[in-house]
Structure 1
Amino acid sequence: MAELNRYGEHVYWDPLPTVAVSQTLPIAGAGPGNSLGPPSDYLRGVWSERDWRNVPGPFYGAQTDSCGTGPLAAPDHVLLEDEYGSEVVFRQPRTVHETQLVLTAAWSDPFAGYACDGDDHWTLGQIRQWWADRTRLVEWIDRVDRMWSISDHEYERAHASAVRAYHHYLEHGLENDLREYGFWLEHRRAITPADTLPDLGP
């Protein structure tokens, strides 16, 4: 559930405080005594190498491996692209538990290609540019969905549901989440009734 402020309004939830103290968090799905360890050990993705399909936010995948472990760890947040099989963050975490799942996806990547320094790079203007180019993303989703949905490989058919979830999110919820994130980047505080969320454009 998204965080609410004292006025009962949805606000951007910042996962970075959870990341900062995540060293002792359990690896999702692992047995007792298996912790994530220092995030600097596995969050080493490079901003300039990020995949364009990553949704704006702190987390992104950049030249990850192609083993498909990320979607297993965080199926509501991570999917595979079809060119190299690398992993893409299509929904940012909005709770401690969801952050633990995305961190587990990152921890599972032997290439250490995830990162969570998006706040240091994204601006409201860049979010607007990404949103303006979403037709490209929809076209990719539709193409991959058609291809994977009828695949002879169960592995690909399973991943088709993730790209459909991304499409649904694009149409129902992502725009407002990006407006909240844009406000956060501009002000680094929760919104109040005196504030207005920024528009993303057409």
Structure 2
Amino acid sequence: MTYWDPIPTVRAIVGKPLPQWGPGTRTVRHDWSGPAGPYHEWTDRDWRSVPGPFYASGTDSCWTGRECAPGHVLYDDGCSGHEFVYRQPRTPQEVCDLICAGECEIFGAYGGDGDAHWTPELVRDWWRDRGRVREWAVVLDRTWSVSEDRYKREASAGARDYVAHIDGDLADYLRGYLFRLEEGRPARPGEALPAL
């Protein structure tokens, strides 16, 4: 799998409406490729956040992220209900979905400067500890899928999707991301990707 860099897409849509908003609506407020807003640090991102450029740090508890980006955002299971990014975007549409989640989050707690912080060693550490994340998602699905709360039942689908992502294509994505971090560019077709 070749790593696709979402940052040029992020920068290209600043000042334009997102496709899901429709014509004549508001526009993207700022460049979401930078750090999260004030008081929100990359080091405070949720431990379940998958490595990559995008993350959330101390979001509100309104649970709006999955309305925009159900294939990318999930909520913690504590009383805070913070959002985190469980899958990085791989297409322009997915970038728009994730930016929509950032735009709807009232504290500006989404950031897109993860590339400046993740190192190959940190990515490999996260991958080695993926069993902890996977087990958390399995338990969340088991608990929330039978909840009387329809929002929790909906979010349980994200937990199942996260488990499938961990068991499926995440390793290939992370190997491509490691190449990007080590070489400063995506791998070309046929180039060997580093091991996790």
Fold shared by both chains (TM-score > 0.5): yes
1:42: how far off?
9.1
Partner secondary structure for residue 79 of structure 1:
strand
SS of structure 1 residue aligned to 2:21: coil
| In structure 2, distance between residues paired with 1:97 and 1:31 | 14
Which residue of structure 1 lines up, in the alignment, with residue 31 of structure 2?
39
CA distance in 2, matches of 1:172, 1:27: 29
Query: Secondary structure of 2:74's match?
Result: strand
Counterpart for residue 43 of structure 2:
48
Match of 2:187, SS state, is coil
Structure 1 portions without partners, runs of 5+? 1-9
Given that 2:36 and 2:57 are in contact with CA atoms closer than 8 Å, whether structure 1 keeps it comes out as no
- Which residue of structure 2 aligns with residue 138 of structure 1? 134
Alignment check: 8 A CA contact 1:11 1:191 kept: yes
Whether 1:158 and 2:154 are equivalent positions in the alignment is yes
1:95 maps to 2:95 = no
After TM superposition, the structure 1 stretch with the greater mean CA deviation from structure 2, 155-164 or 40-49, is 40-49
Cα-to-partner distance string for 1:163-193 (whole Å, 9 max, x where unaligned):
0000000001000000000000100223246
4+ residue stretches of structure 1 with deviation over 6 A?
none
Q: Does residue 173 in structure 1 map to residue 169 in structure 2?
A: yes
State the Cα distance separating 1:67 from its structure 2 match.
Answer: 0.7
TM-score computed with the length of structure 1 as normaliser? 0.89
Kept in 2, the 8 Å contact 1:28–1:73? The answer is no
Cα RMSD (Å): 1.7
Does structure 1 residue 118 correspond to structure 2 residue 114? yes
Larger deviation, residues 164-173 vs 151-160: 151-160
Deviation at 1:39, TM superposition (A): 2.4
Shift of 1:23: 1.2
Quick one: distance in 1 between partners of 2:71 and 2:190? 33
> Would you say how many aligned residue pairs link Structure 1 and Structure 2?
191
Q: Which of 32, 54, 66 is 1:71 aligned to?
A: 66
Q: 1:28 to 1:68 in 2, by over 3 A?
A: farther
Among residues 13, 36, 60, which one is paired with 1:22 in the alignment? 13
Checking the alignment, whether the CA contact within 8 Å between 1:42 and 1:112 is kept in structure 2 is no
Match of 2:4 in 1: 13
Aligned position for 2:105: 109
For residues 195 and 31 of structure 1, the distance between their equivalents in structure 2, rounded to whole angstroms, comes to 40
TM-score, normalised to structure 2's length? Answer: 0.91
Structure 2 distance, partners of 1:25, 1:179, is 33
The letter of the residue matching 1:188 is G
1:42-100 Cα offsets, whole Å, 9 max, x none, are: 94241111001110000001101111111110111111111121111111111111111
SS of the equivalent of 2:151 reads: helix
Q: Is this contact kept in 1: 2:65–2:102, CA < 8 A?
A: yes
- Which one is further off, 92-101 or 41-50? 41-50
Aligned match of 1:190? 186
Identity between Structure 1 and Structure 2 (%): 42
